[in-house]
Structure 1
Amino acid sequence: MSLRHDLRVIRAVAATDIRLTLREPLFAIIGVLIPINFLLLFLLFAISGGQAPIAVVMNDHGPLAERFVQAMDGAHSFIIHTATSAEAESEIRAGSIVAVVTVPQDFDAALGAGARVDVPVEVNNLNVDFTNDIRRAVPLSITSFYADAFPDQVVVSALESDVQAQDTGYIPYLAVSIVVAGLMLAAILQGSVNTARDYELGTVKELVLAPVGRLAIGLGKMLGSAALTVASALLVLGVVILVIGVHPLHPLEVLGFGLLMIAAFLALGVLAGTLVRRRQQAIPLSIACILPLFFLSGPFGPANWLGAVPGAIAAVSPLTYAIAAFQHAFHGYQTATQDLAVDTIVLAVFTLVTVVLTALVFRRRGVAH
C-alpha cells in the first residue's frame, strides 16, 4: 500500500509540474528552444570556420595543373572555386575569400622540363587562424601533388597507420559534443526553473508540510522535469540525426547514457534552483555554467589534448565524461583514457553527490524566502 501511495504521489507531483510549466509558455519555450539554438549557433560557427574559402586562377589547364588543384581539394582545408585574375583580386579585396592561388602559365611544361615552378599565393592575413591554415595547407598540397605526379623523385614519404577504424569529420564530431551540452543545458534549465518556481509560488511549503515522503516528492519533481527535458533532447537529437546526418553506431548506448546525463544534470539544476530561488536568476546562471564547461570538456577533441591546466579542469567536469560516452555511442571510439565503465560511474556518483548537496542546502536554508 505504501509503495502504491508513493507512486501516486510521484505521478501527481510530476503531472503538476508539467501542467504548471505548460501554463507558462515562455519558460516552456525557453527550456526547449535554447538547447536547439545552442546547437545551431555552434554548428554555424564550425561551418564558417572549418575551411578557408579561396580562389584559384588557372593560367594553365594542363593535366598536371588539374592534378595540383585536386591535391589542394584533397587537403580538406579549402573551399575552392576558380576565377579569373580580375575576379579573384576583387574578391580578396572585398574580404570574401582568404587567399588567391595562381597556377602559372606553362605549369605543365616547366615541370616536364624539371624547371623550378613558383606558385603565387596572395593571402588576406586579417584572420591569423585562416592565415596559418593557408600557410600549412598550400605546402602540404604541393608536397602531396608532387609525390603523386612524380613518385620516383620523392624518396621520403609518410607511412600512416590509423588508430580509429574510420575518419570522423569536424562537424560530426562537434555535433555530438554539442548534443551533450544541449542535454546538459536543457536539464539544468528545467530543473532550476521548476525548483525556483516552487519557491516563488510558495508551493514548496505545501510540499514540505504534506503528509507524504520527501523522496516521493523529489522523484516526482525529477520525473516532471525529465519529461520536459526529454522533449528538448529529442528535438536536438532529431536535428543531429535527421538533418546533419550523424547516425549513432550504438543506439542503446545513446538511450542509456542520455537518461543518465539527464538525471545528472537535472540534479545540478535542482541544486541551482534551490540556491537562487528565482527563475530570472536561474536561467542566466544555467547558461553561464554551460559555456566555460563546454569549452573545457573536450568538445573539439579529447580533453587530454587540452594541456595541463585545462586538462585538469576537464578531469573534474561531468561534461567531459558525458562527451566521451556519447562519442563512443555515436562514432564507436573512446576519446579519453578512461573506459565507458568509468564514464558511467562518474556520472552516477556526480548525480548522487549533487542530490545530497541539494538536500543539505534545503535543510540548512529551510523554505523561508
Structure 2
Amino acid sequence: MRSALRVIGAVCVKDLRLALTERVFLVIGVIIPVNFLFLFSLFALTGGEAPIAVVMQGQGPLARQFVSSLEHAHSFQVHVMSTADAERQLQAGRIVGVLTVPGGFDDDLRAGRRIELPVEVNNLQVDFTNDIRRAVPLAITSFYAQAFPDQVVVQAREVDIQAGDTGYIPYLAVSIVVAGMFVEGLLQSVVLTAREYEESTIKELELSPASRWAVALGKVAAGLVLTAAAAAIVTAVVVFVVGVHPVHPLEVMLYGVLMMVPAVALGVLVGTLLKRRQAAIPLALGSFLPLFFLSGPFGPPNWGGTAVISLVSPLTYAIALFQHAFHGYLTAQTPLAVDVAVLVGFAVAAVVAATAVLRRGMMA
C-alpha cells in the first residue's frame, strides 16, 4: 500500500509539472464554460420575452390598467410609443408586434360594448409569435377579471410546488458549473495521457515495476487537482459575478468531486485509446457537447423528449444534484440518494475502464 501511494503521488506530481507546460489547455478549460455562461445568458436576456409596442389611443385608467396587465404577463417587453414610431420599430425588426388600445376604451368597457384590439404581428419568429398569440388573450382575461371581478366568476388559482421561482439564468448558471467541471477534467486528462504516448514517456512507466493501477490512479489524481482549480474559478464567477449563491455549499464540493472523477477517468480512457492529441481533443469536445445538451442544462430532461437518452449521461445526475446544492430542490424524478449512487457508479466504472485500458496499452 505504501509503495502504491508513492507511485500515485509521483505520477500525479509528474503530470502536474507537465500540465504547466500546456498552459493553453489550462486556460481553455476555464474559457469554454465561462463563454458558455456568457453566450447562454445573452440568449436568456434577449430571448425570454417578446418585445412589443403599445399605442395608447385611449388614455383612461382602465386603458392604463390593461397595459399594466400586459407588463405583468411574463411574456412581453412592453414599450409605449406613438403609431409612427411603432411602425418604424416593427419594420426595422426591433419589435415583434404592435398592439393598439383604441380611443374610447374606458367608455366602451363601462357601456358593455364590444372592443377590438388590433395586434399587428411580425410572424418571422414562431416562438415570439406564439407567445403573443397565447399571452395577449391571457392578459385580456386577467385584466378583465381584475377590473370587473363580479362579471368573471371563474379564475385560476396558482399553487407553487417550490418556495420561489428560479430565473432562467440562475438555473442555467448551475448547469454551466457542471459543464465546466466535466469539460476541464476531460480535456486535461486527454492532453496529459495522449502526450505520454506522443513523447514516448509512457515507456518509462512500462519498464518500471510500478503497479498499473497506481499509475492510472496517479493520472486521475493529477486531473482532479487541475480540474478542481478550474472548477473553483468557474464557480466563483457564478457565485460572485452572476450572484447565484448555493443553499448547501458542502454539497457543491462533494458533488463536484463526484462529477470530476468520471470526467477525468474518461479523459484518461480516450487519451489511451487514441494516443494522439490531434485526434483525442476533437473527440473529447465533440462528445461533450451533445452529452451536455441532452442532460437538461435548460430544464429537467423529463420535461422534453430526451428523458430516456439522458439517463445514460452522468451530466444529467450531476446537474440535478447541483441544482439541489444551489437552489435546494430536485429537478430529477429520482431521489437525491439515487442520483448520488448513480454518479458514484459512473465514477467507479470510468476509473476501472480507464485503468484497464491503460494497463493493456502499457503491456502491449
TM-score class, shorter = over 0.9
How far 1:159 moved relative to its partner?
Answer: 2.1
Equivalent residue number for residue 28 of structure 1? 26
How far 1:210 moved relative to its partner?
Answer: 2.1
What residue identity is the alignment partner of 1:210?
Answer: S
Equivalenced residues, count: 364
Among residues 338, 345, 355, which one is paired with 1:342 in the alignment?
338
- Does 2:318 correspond to 1:322? yes
3-state SS of 1:125 partner: coil
- Does structure 1 conserve the Cα–Cα contact (< 8 Å) formed by 2:186 and 2:264? yes
The 2-side partners of 1:218 and 1:147 are apart by 67
Among residues 152, 176, 179, which one is paired with 2:177 in the alignment?
179
- Does structure 1 conserve the Cα–Cα contact (< 8 Å) formed by 2:294 and 2:310? yes
Q: 1:32 to 1:280 in 2, by over 3 A?
A: farther
How far 1:175 moved relative to its partner?
Answer: 1.8
Equivalent residue number for residue 49 of structure 1? 47
Q: 1:148 to 1:297 in 2, by over 3 A?
A: same
Gap runs ≥5 in structure 2:
none
Equivalent residue number for residue 127 of structure 2? 129
3-state SS of 1:100 partner: strand
The 2-side partners of 1:234 and 1:100 are apart by 46
- Does 2:36 correspond to 1:38? yes
What residue identity is the alignment partner of 2:132?
Answer: I
* 1:89-116 deviation digits (Å, cap 9, x = unpaired): 1111111111112222122222122222
The 2-side partners of 1:239 and 1:114 are apart by 55
What residue identity is the alignment partner of 2:230?
Answer: S
- Does 2:89 correspond to 1:91? yes
* 1:218-268 deviation digits (Å, cap 9, x = unpaired): 232222212221222122212221122111111111111011101121111
Gap runs ≥5 in structure 1:
none
- Does structure 1 conserve the Cα–Cα contact (< 8 Å) formed by 2:29 and 2:180? no
What residue identity is the alignment partner of 2:325?
Answer: A
- Does structure 1 conserve the Cα–Cα contact (< 8 Å) formed by 2:255 and 2:322? yes
How far 1:14 moved relative to its partner?
Answer: 2.1
* 1:309-362 deviation digits (Å, cap 9, x = unpaired): x21111121111111111111111111111111111111111111222223323
- Does structure 2 conserve the Cα–Cα contact (< 8 Å) formed by 1:199 and 1:367? no
- Does structure 1 conserve the Cα–Cα contact (< 8 Å) formed by 2:25 and 2:187? no
* 1:129-168 deviation digits (Å, cap 9, x = unpaired): 1111111111111111111111111111112211112111
- Does structure 2 conserve the Cα–Cα contact (< 8 Å) formed by 1:36 and 1:235? no
How far 1:300 moved relative to its partner?
Answer: 2.2
The 2-side partners of 1:227 and 1:35 are apart by 18
What residue identity is the alignment partner of 2:197?
Answer: Y
The 2-side partners of 1:98 and 1:181 are apart by 33
Q: 1:189 to 1:344 in 2, by over 3 A?
A: same
3-state SS of 2:20 partner: helix
Q: 1:123 to 1:240 in 2, by over 3 A?
A: same
5 Å-filtered alignment, 1:289-368, equals 289-307=287-305, 310-366=306-362
What residue identity is the alignment partner of 1:9?
Answer: V
Equivalent residue number for residue 108 of structure 2? 110
- Does structure 1 conserve the Cα–Cα contact (< 8 Å) formed by 2:212 and 2:359? no
5 Å-filtered alignment, 1:194-205, equals 194-205=192-203
Equivalent residue number for residue 75 of structure 1? 73
Equivalent residue number for residue 187 of structure 2? 189
The 2-side partners of 1:203 and 1:249 are apart by 45
Q: 1:39 to 1:209 in 2, by over 3 A?
A: farther
The 2-side partners of 1:205 and 1:105 are apart by 85
Q: 1:367 to 1:84 in 2, by over 3 A?
A: farther
Runs of 4+ in 1 over 6 A off after TM superposition: none
Equivalent residue number for residue 277 of structure 1? 275
3-state SS of 1:152 partner: coil
Equivalent residue number for residue 11 of structure 2? 13
The 1-side partners of 2:300 and 2:22 are apart by 40
The 2-side partners of 1:283 and 1:62 are apart by 64
3-state SS of 2:99 partner: strand
Q: 1:199 to 1:38 in 2, by over 3 A?
A: farther
- Does structure 2 conserve the Cα–Cα contact (< 8 Å) formed by 1:53 and 1:78? yes
How far 1:18 moved relative to its partner?
Answer: 2.0
Q: Percent identity?
A: 60
Q: 1:278 to 1:42 in 2, by over 3 A?
A: farther
* 1:151-207 deviation digits (Å, cap 9, x = unpaired): 111111112211112111122112212221222111111121111111111122212
The 2-side partners of 1:230 and 1:345 are apart by 21
The 2-side partners of 1:82 and 1:228 are apart by 52
Q: TM-score, normalised by structure 2?
A: 0.94
Q: TM-score, normalised by structure 1?
A: 0.93
The 2-side partners of 1:209 and 1:41 are apart by 48
The 1-side partners of 2:227 and 2:163 are apart by 34
